[in-house]
Amino acid sequence: MSGRRLFDVAIVGAGMVGAALALDLAQRGFDVALVESRPPAPWRAEDEVDLRVVALAASSIALLQRLDVWTSIAASRASAYRRMQVWDALAPGSLGFDAADEGAAALGYIVENKLIQSALWRAIERQPAIRLHCPARVVATEVSTGAAIESRITNHESRLLTLDDGTQLKARLVVAADGDDSALRGLLGIATRDRDYAQRGIVAHVAHERAHEATAWQRFLPGATLAFLPLADGRSSIVWSVPNDEAERLLALDDVAFRTELGAAFDFRLGAITATTRRAAFPLRLRLAERYAAPRFALVGDAAHVVHPLAGQGVNLGFRDAVELANVLAEAKNRKVADSSHDFASEYTLRRYERRRRSDNAIAANAFDVIQRGFGSDVAAVAALRGVGLALVDRVAPLKRFFAHHAAG
């Protein structure tokens, strides 16, 4: 029975971040239980490109390559972006990045969330060190001493998870990767610092008159941001972040009126918008967990931090959490094997993970927050300052390199 088996790590949530972490840990020799409330919809080449896509930075691609899933993702449907152009509706400056300046083939890739998740799931199904529980939800969790459960953990604590079907899982470490509204974070009583942007991100795929030139475009408008991300089929995936009432209005427009407004908001940079898919919208907020670690417990991905999508960094930060957590656990495990103890998930180790990731994520989240507020302003002096800022970063090579390296992770 699962309740008697001791896993090294139990991960709750098998979205992109939880699934990547499970695979990474299994490949490093950990026994993993993975709990997911709903199986992901399968990705099929013949289906229309899914509306949820992410811009993957170089650090995320490196992880997916190491996990041996990138080749199949790239062969299925991934779109390289080689340039990035950022400009402002109210100020003259602009900022451009080119992969060639970095000596790289691409700055990153646009990929459907569903494709990334399904490639990871296929690899998980082939991995004997991962036990998948799906569909299942955690209803309770507590720390236990474990001495009576298995002799090899005498004197070491573990954490018990109770699932909604009555199954009990015991693991030396439980990781919450259950997303934005993390139920597990709630069960642990970990508070979050929240800011509602009172905005929604409208997403759609659109066709346009001119070629996108493998460029990711971002235009700042008063109170809004608009990104065009290049898709492999020549269309672009848009993320148009606008105040809630404006989102309501834009969602209610018919396709022709929506295309006209979108083209104008994008300053017709790619000519007229000639076609659009259906639209979907997501509420936008900043949410930062006050702690990333508790006894026998850690948070990763959106369960730990939700950021504004303007910089396209949410899952990239989540993948960096996964890598860092796997690194500290593996280092601790190797050290402990050397001294014949088995505790790789001590408070000391979990605090190391927390220290390394929490400040990094908070800096990124707050930077996006400042950009969102500064670029949202239509005050003339603020707009002029933005123009000077963009032009300055564009012209000063070390500054530009700094931003390019940060975006690449």
Ligand X SMILES: Cc1cc2nc3c(=O)[nH]c(=O)nc-3n(C[C@H](O)[C@H](O)[C@H](O)COP(=O)(O)OP(=O)(O)OC[C@H]3O[C@@H](n4cnc5c(N)ncnc54)[C@H](O)[C@@H]3O)c2cc1C
Residues contributing to the site for ligand X (CB under 6 A) = 12-18, 35-38, 54-55, 113, 137-138, 177-180, 183, 201, 203, 239, 282, 301-302, 309, 312-316, 318
Name the packing angle between helices 16-27 and 314-338 (round to 10°).
20
Q: Which is nearer to ligand X, 38 or 44 (CB)?
A: 38
Question: d(Cα 102, Cα 395) in Å, to the nearest integer?
Answer: 15
- DSSP code per residue over 220-249: EETTEEEEEEE-TTS-EEEEEEEEHHHHHH
In the complex, least distance from residue 241 CB atom to ligand X, rounded to whole angstroms = 8
In the complex, least distance from residue 22 CB atom to ligand X, rounded to whole angstroms = 11
Q: Which is nearer to ligand X, 273 or 299 (CB)?
A: 299
Question: d(Cα 115, Cα 166) in Å, to the nearest integer?
Answer: 32
In the complex, least distance from residue 404 CB atom to ligand X, rounded to whole angstroms = 16
Q: Which is nearer to ligand X, 246 or 347 (CB)?
A: 246
317's torsion region: left (phi>0), alpha (psi -120 to 50) or beta? alpha
Degrees to nearest 5, angle at CA 31 with 29 and 36: 125
In the complex, least distance from residue 132 CB atom to ligand X, rounded to whole angstroms = 11
Q: Which is nearer to ligand X, 156 or 219 (CB)?
A: 219
Which residue has the CB atom at the shortest distance from ligand X? Answer: 15
Q: Which is nearer to ligand X, 212 or 333 (CB)?
A: 212
Q: Which is nearer to ligand X, 93 or 314 (CB)?
A: 314
In the complex, least distance from residue 285 CB atom to ligand X, rounded to whole angstroms = 10
Which alpha helices (H) appear in 112-240, and where do they start and end? Answer: 113-125, 183-187
Name the packing angle between helices 16-27 and 113-125 (round to 10°).
30
In the complex, least distance from residue 23 CB atom to ligand X, rounded to whole angstroms = 13
Question: d(Cα 21, Cα 198) in Å, to the nearest integer?
Answer: 32
User: Do residues 221 and 91 lie in contact, with contact meaning Cβ atoms separated by under 8 Å?
Assistant: no
In the complex, least distance from residue 348 CB atom to ligand X, rounded to whole angstroms = 25
For residue 280, give Cα distances in angstroms to 55, 131, 239: 18, 34, 10
In the complex, least distance from residue 351 CB atom to ligand X, rounded to whole angstroms = 21
In the complex, least distance from residue 195 CB atom to ligand X, rounded to whole angstroms = 15
Q: H helices then E strands: how many in the chain?
A: 11, 20
Q: Which is nearer to ligand X, 16 or 328 (CB)?
A: 16
**Three-state secondary-structure class, residue 288:** strand
Q: Which is nearer to ligand X, 93 or 201 (CB)?
A: 201
Which alpha helices (H) appear in 152-197, and where do they start and end? Answer: 183-187
Q: Which is nearer to ligand X, 279 or 333 (CB)?
A: 279
Degrees to nearest 5, angle at CA 312 with 203 and 241: 40
Phi, psi of 260 (to 5 degrees): -65, -45
